[in-house]
Structure formats: C-alpha cells, structure tokens
Amino acid sequence: MTAPWAEWNHILKIDPDKELPDEVTYGDLCATGTDAVEIGGTMGITEENMAAVIEACAEHDVPLYQEPSNPGVVVDDDALDGYLIPTVFNAGSPFWITGAHKEWVRVDGDLDWGRTWTEAYIVMNPEADVAQLTEADCDLTADDIASYAKIAERMFGQEIVYVEYSGTYGEESIVEAAREALDEATLFYGGGIHDYDSAYAMANRADVIVVGNLAHDEGVDAVQETVDAANDA
Ligand code: 1GP
C-alpha cells in the first residue's frame, strides 16, 4: 500500500495551544486544499485542547493526523486518519528518541499499529521550543544532516524524515543535503514558511512542506498561497 504522504505536497500544522486570528475558522483552514492537517505543538498541549481541535476539524473533508508531543496528550478518536509520532534523531535526551514512545506503549498497551507511524525529526533551530525541550544538538553541518537522514532511512527504516526549523526559515542547502541522502523516505520540511516564494523554494527541495505559525499569525489567505506554491513546485 502506498503511504498516504507519498502523494502530499503540503501539511497544515495546527497548534491547539495557539489561537486563530479573528474571523478565521478551522473549516476555512481545512478548505485551503492542504493535503493533510496535523494537530500538534510542543508547549501547552493537553488532551482537552487536542480533542477540541480534532473535533473542529473532523467535520471537514481533509485527512487528519495527530502529532502528540508526549504520551499524555494522545487522543483516541476515530476521526483521525492516524498518528504521526516524532522521534528526534538529534535529541540530547533519549526520552525524545525512544523513551516517550516506550512509556506510551507501557501505559496504553496495544496501540493501533495500522494507524501509527513515526517521523524522524532533525531539529535545526536552537531557539525553538522543540529544540530546547529535547536538548537537541542543532550545531550540525550539511554532512551531519545527510548522515542523519541516511541512517534514519537505511538503519532505522524511517519512512518520513522531517527537517524541522520551527519558527524560522531554514538553510536551503541543509534541506538539499537531506534530499540527496534519501532514496525512498519522504522528506518533510517545516519552519518559517510565510508566503508563496518561501513555500515554493522549500517545496522544490522537500517532498512535503509543513506550514504552522502562519495559520495562527496571518490566517487563511496566507496559508492558501503556500498551498498553491506547494502544488506549483
Ligand atoms: C512546526 O515545522 C512546523 O513544527 C512549521 O513551522 O510554525 O515555523 O511554520 P512554522
């Protein structure tokens, strides 16, 4: 079976801890033509705010994934197409590589494995909450990135490699290094995409671009531009 993300160009990531601009609804965002909505964030995430966003998006016709930041916020909901679970390859603490995952399985028992996948994150913006929380080593060269991408795919069988610059626009050469290292895995890029041009540039380098803050800061038209760019690239 082909993985769903093999056909995607664009993901809209909605952070349940952040407000939407006035007049913007989850329905408007789901209707931008994004290929999937991923619900997740690093700080301030609770089962309640996760569930509220899932419920708001579930009425709309868009693939819906939860990206839990820790086992305590996982929501069991049939409206979800699945769970995309981060594992941070350059984390300083093993908790964020396999530890949180082990706890989830220990506490919850049998997961719905048919709907559960991992994303091999390489976190690159040291200022981002995700970098600080996971104590990520972001001082990495293009060779380091290529090597992480390669081991993710070849040694650890990861189907998704995610170059994450959350909050800032990344180095295009770094994303290219990941691209060149991968044969089969799907490359996600996220961070600082804020308009058509930035979306187009990264969509030419990654398989899938992830747009987050823009939805909360600017709203629907800005997100729409990035969907158009991802599909044009
Ligand atoms: C965050 O990669 C996503 O996990 C998107 O980043 O919020 O900077 O768009 P931005």
Mutate to test the pocket of ligand 1, among 11, 12, 13, 223 (most ligand atoms within 8 A of CB): 13
Which amino acid would we find at residue 67?
E
Q: What would the two tokens of residue 138 be?
A: 């972001």
Number of domains in the chain: 1
- 185 lies in some domain: yes
Question: What pLDDT is stored for residue 186 in this prediction?
Answer: 98
Q: Which residues of the chain have pLDDT under 70?
A: 1
- pLDDT of the residue at 121: 98
Amino acid 2: pLDDT: 83
Within a domain: 90: yes
| Residue with tokens 């819906």, as numbered in its chain | 64
Helix (H) or strand (E) holding 190: strand 186-190
Instruction: Report the run of H or E that residue 70 belongs to, with start and end.
Output: none
Domain holding 141, by residue range, is 9-232
Q: How far apart are CA 196 and CA 202, in angstroms?
A: 10
Identify whether 198 is part of a domain: yes
The CATH number of the domain holding residue 195 is 3.20.20.390
pLDDT at 72: 86
Residue 4 lies in a domain: no
Q: Model confidence over 210-225: pLDDT tens digits?
A: 999 999 999 999 999 9
Pocket mutation for ligand 1, best pick of 96, 164, 223 (most atoms within 8 Å of C-beta): 164
| Residue 2, domain member (yes or no) | no
- CB 178, CB 161: distance < 8 Å: yes
| pTM of the complete model | 0.97
- Residue 84 pLDDT: 97
CA 199 to chain centre: 15
216 lines ligand 1 (CB under 6 A): no
What proportion of the chain, given as a percentage, has pLDDT over 90? 91
- Asked if residue 3 is part of any domain, the answer here is no
Given a contact cutoff of 8 angstroms between Cβ atoms, the answer to whether 146 and 180 are in contact is yes
Is 69 near ligand 1, meaning CB less than 6 Å away? no
